[in-house]
C-alpha cells in the first residue's frame, strides 16, 4: 500500500473557484469566492497482486477522528476521481452540520467481473486500520450495500458503519438500530436505506420547481441513471405528480412525452439496473444513451456517472435547472458554461446528501426505523436548503455551488468526541 503526497497543481475544483466571479459566468463578481481546502488529509493506494486491480482511499477531512464516504468500483476509476468525491463528501458533512469529515474509496475494477467481490474483500482488508477506527463507508457506484455488509461480516467488522458503531456506549444496540433503519420496508417494496438518498434528490427537484412557482404536475424531468439513487428519485418524483418523461440506463435512453410509468419501468430492471427492452410498452421510444442530456425537460437529473456533463455536451442541455444526483456529475467548466446561459446546477453535496445525512441521524439516534420520521425530516431540510440556494441564484446571481461552499466553509464546531447512543 502506498501513501501518496499531493503532487501539486490545481484540481478541477480549483478551476471552478477560479472561474467564479468572471464575466459571463452568471456569478456576482462582487461576492468573493469562499476559501476552499484543496489538499486532502490523506491519500492511500492499494494494488491487488491477484488481479491487478488498483484501489484508493482519500480522506479529505477528519473531524473528531472520523470521516465518512462510500466506496465505488468501476473500470477506469482514478485517484483524481476519488479525490474529487472525497472533497464532495467533506462538503456534504459540513453543509449538513454532521460531526465527521469526508472521505471516499474507489477500486479500478469491473463490478460485473465474477472476481469483483473477492477484490472488494481484499481491498477492505487492506484498508482495515482505517475502517476499524476512522472511516465509515457505504454503497456507491458498482457496490451495493448488501455486498459491503457481507464482506464486512466476513472480516469480523459486522457492518460498514463499524468505525462509528464501535464508539457507541452500547455497540450491539447501536448496530441493531442501524440495521433496522437500513432494512425498514417502505411503500413500493423498497428498503428505507436504499431509497432515502433518492427521496432527498426528488425533494431537491420539487423545491427547485417551487422556487420558480411551478406546480409538480406541470414540471417535466429527465433522469440519467436509474440505479439506487436515480431509480428512487424517479419513483418519488412520479409519486409527487411530476412527469418523468425521459430516463437512461447503460443501454440507452427511454422517452415518453406523456410521462413514463416509473413503477412499472423500475420493475423491468435487472441486477445491473438495466431495463429489459423486450418488455417495454409500445409508447416508450428508445433513443441513444446521450439523448437524455438534451431532453426537453424542466429538470435534468444526472444520476449515473461522475463528469457526465462536460464542455462538449453542456450546450445540449435544455433543462431549466440541473440537479446533481451523481457525485461530481458536472465538470467545473461545464457548470460555468451552464451558468452563463442562466442554468443553475444544484450541487451534489446538497442535492444527493440525504443518504449520508440520514445515516448519521440514524447513528446518532435522531431518527429510527419509522420511515415517516426520516422522510419528514429530510424533506424539511432539503426544501429549506434548496430554497436558499435558488434565492441566492435568482436574487444575487450567486451560483448554488458557491452558496453551498460558503455553508461548507463554516461548519458547526466539533469540540469533543462524537457521542453515539
pLDDT confidence of residue 30? 31
Residues 108 and 209 in one domain: no
Give domain status of residue 417, yes or no.
no
More confident residue, 368 or 27: 368
Q: How confident is the model at residue 357 (pLDDT cuts 50, 70, 90)?
A: very high
Confidence at 27, pLDDT banded by 50, 70, 90: very low
Residue whose C-alpha is closest to residue 252's, from 292, 281, 293: 292
With 60 as the cut, is the pLDDT of residue 123 above it? yes
246 and 342 within one domain: yes
If asked whether residues 286 and 379 sit together in one domain, one would say: yes
The answer to whether residue 237 sits within a structural domain is: yes
Task: Examine the fold and report which residue of 135, 167, 199 is the final residue of a domain before the chain moves on.
Answer: 167
CATH number of the domain that 271 lies in? 3.40.50.720
- Predicted confidence at residue 183, as pLDDT, reads 94
Residues 388 and 248 in one domain: yes
pLDDT of residue 286: 97
Determine, yes or no, domain membership for 6. Answer: no
Same structural domain for residues 286 and 371? yes
Rounded Cα distance, 293 and 246, in Å: 9
Residue 9 domain-assigned? no
Structural domains in the chain (count): 2
Report whether pLDDT(14) > 60: no
Q: Are residues 305 and 375 in the same domain?
A: yes
- pLDDT at res. 414: 64
Q: How far is CA 263 from the centre of its chain?
A: 22
Taking alpha carbons only, the member of 213, 256, 214 closest to residue 234 is: 256
pLDDT in tens, 196-245: 999 999 999 999 999 999 999 999 999 999 999 999 999 999 999 999 99
Would you state the pLDDT for residue 2? 57
What integer best gives the mean pLDDT of the chain? 90
**Is residue 397 over pLDDT 80?**
yes
Tell me the CATH number at 163: 3.40.50.10860
Predicted confidence at residue 158, as pLDDT, reads 85
- Residue 376 forms part of a structural domain: yes
Q: Give the list of residues 6+ apart from residue 90 with CB closer than 8 angstroms, or none.
A: 37, 60, 61, 67, 101, 102, 408
- pLDDT grade for 37, boundaries at 50, 70 and 90: low
Average pLDDT over residues 43-49: 97
Show the domain range for 220: 190-408
141 with 273, same domain?
A: no
Average pLDDT over residues 152-168: 93
Residue 76 lies in a domain: yes
Check whether residue 131 and residue 207 sit in a common domain.
no
Among the three residues 152, 167, 182, which one is the final residue of a domain in this structure?
Answer: 167
Q: How far apart are CA 54 and CA 125, in angstroms?
A: 14
Task: Tell me the average pLDDT across 282-300.
Answer: 97
Return d(Cα 167, Cα 281) in angstroms, integer. Answer: 51
Same domain, 161 and 268: no
Same domain, 349 and 288: yes
Of 109, 132, 167, the one marking the end of a domain is: 167
Is 165 within 8 Å of 175 (Cβ atoms)?
yes
Where b means 16+ CB within 10 Å and e means fewer, 51-83 reads eebbbbbbbbbbbbebbbbbbbbbeebebebbb
Q: What is the DSSP letter of 33?
A: P
Q: Which helix (H) or strand (E) holds 108?
A: strand 101-108
In the predicted model, what is the mean pLDDT of residues 377-397?
97
Q: What is the pLDDT of residues 292-305, one digit of tens each?
A: 999 999 999 999 98
Is residue 317 situated within a structural domain? Answer: yes
Which of 92, 104, 243, 385 does the annotation list as catalytic? 104
Indicate if 128 and 240 belong to the same structural domain: no
Same domain, 362 and 254: yes
Q: What is the mean pLDDT of residues 166-185?
A: 94
**Residue 104 annotated among the catalytic residues of the structure:** yes
Percentage with pLDDT > 90 across the chain: 84
Packed helices 192-211 and 228-239: angle between N→C axes, nearest 10 degrees: 60
Say whether pLDDT at 105 is over 70.
yes
Answer yes or no: is 31 within a domain.
Answer: no
What average pLDDT does range 269-280 have in this prediction?
93
- For residue 96, the model assigns a pLDDT of 94
More confident residue, 409 or 392: 392
Amino acid at each position: 500500500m502506498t501513501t501518496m503526497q499531493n503532487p501539486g497543481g490545481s484540481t478541477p475544483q480549483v478551476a471552478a473557484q477560479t472561474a467564479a466571479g468572471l464575466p459571463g459566468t452568471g456569478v456576482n463578481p462582487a461576492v468573493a469566492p469562499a476559501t476552499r481546502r484543496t489538499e486532502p488529509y490523506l491519500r492511500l493506494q492499494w494494488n491487488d497482486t491477484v488481479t491487478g486491480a488498483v484501489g484508493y482511499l482519500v480522506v479529505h477531512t477528519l473531524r473528531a477522528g472520523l470521516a465518512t464516504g462510500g466506496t465505488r468500483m468501476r473500470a477506469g476509476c482514478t485517484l483524481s476521481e476519488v479525490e474529487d468525491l472525497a472533497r464532495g463528501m467533506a462538503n456534504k458533512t459540513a453543509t449538513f452540520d454532521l460531526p465527521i469529515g469526508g472521505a471516499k474509496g474507489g477500486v479500478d475494477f469491473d463490478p460485473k467481473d465474477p472476481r469483483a467481490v473477492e477484490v472488494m474483500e481484499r481491498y477492505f482488508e487492506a484498508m482495515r486500520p482505517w475502517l476499524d477506527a476512522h472511516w465509515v463507508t457505504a454503497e456507491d457506484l458498482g457496490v451495493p450495500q448488501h455486498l459491503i455488509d457481507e464482506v464486512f461480516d466476513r472480516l469480523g467488522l459486522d457492518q460498514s458503519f463499524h468505525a462509528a458503531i464501535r464508539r457507541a456506549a452500547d455497540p450491539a444496540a447501536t448496530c441493531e438500530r442501524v440495521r433496522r433503519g437500513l432494512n425498514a420496508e417502505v411503500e413500493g417494496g423498497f428498503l428505507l436505506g436504499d431509497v432515502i438518498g433518492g427521496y432527498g434528490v426528488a425533494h431537491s427537484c420539487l423545491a427547485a420547481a417551487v422556487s420558480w412557482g411551478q406546480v409538480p404536475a406541470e414540471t417535466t424531468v429527465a433522469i440519467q441513471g436509474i440505479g439506487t439513487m436515480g431509480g428512487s428519485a424517479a419513483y418519488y418524483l412520479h409519486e409527487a405528480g411530476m412527469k418523468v418523461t425521459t430516463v437512461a440506463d447503460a443501454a440507452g435512453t427511454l422517452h415518453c412525452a406523456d410521462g413514463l410509468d416509473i413503477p412499472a419501468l423500475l420493475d423491468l430492471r435487472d441486477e445491473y439496473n438495466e431495463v429489459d427492452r423486450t418488455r417495454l410498452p409500445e409508447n416508450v421510444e428508445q433513443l441513444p444513451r446521450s439523448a437524455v442530456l438534451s431532453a426537453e425537460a424542466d429538470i435534468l437529473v444526472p444520476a449515473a456517472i461522475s463528469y457526465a456533463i462536460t464542455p462538449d455536451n453542456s450546450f445540449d442541455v435544455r433543462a431549466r435547472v440541473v440537479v446533481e444526483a451523481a457525485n461530481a456529475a458536472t465538470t467545473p467548466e461545464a457548470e460555468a458554461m451552464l451558468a452563463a446561459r442562466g442554468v443553475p446546477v444544484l450541487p451534489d453535496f446538497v442535492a444527493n446528501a440525504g443518504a449520508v445525512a440520514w445515516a448519521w441521524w440514524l447513528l446518532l439516534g435522531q431518527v429510527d426505523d419509522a420511515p415517516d420520521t426520516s422522510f419528514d425530516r429530510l424533506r424539511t431540510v432539503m426544501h429549506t436548503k434548496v430554497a436558499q440556494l435558488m434565492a441566492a441564484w435568482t436574487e444575487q446571481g450567486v451560483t448554488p455551488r458557491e452558496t453551498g461552499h460558503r455553508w461548507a466553509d463554516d461548519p458547526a464546531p466539533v469540540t469533543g468526541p462524537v457521542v453515539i447512543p
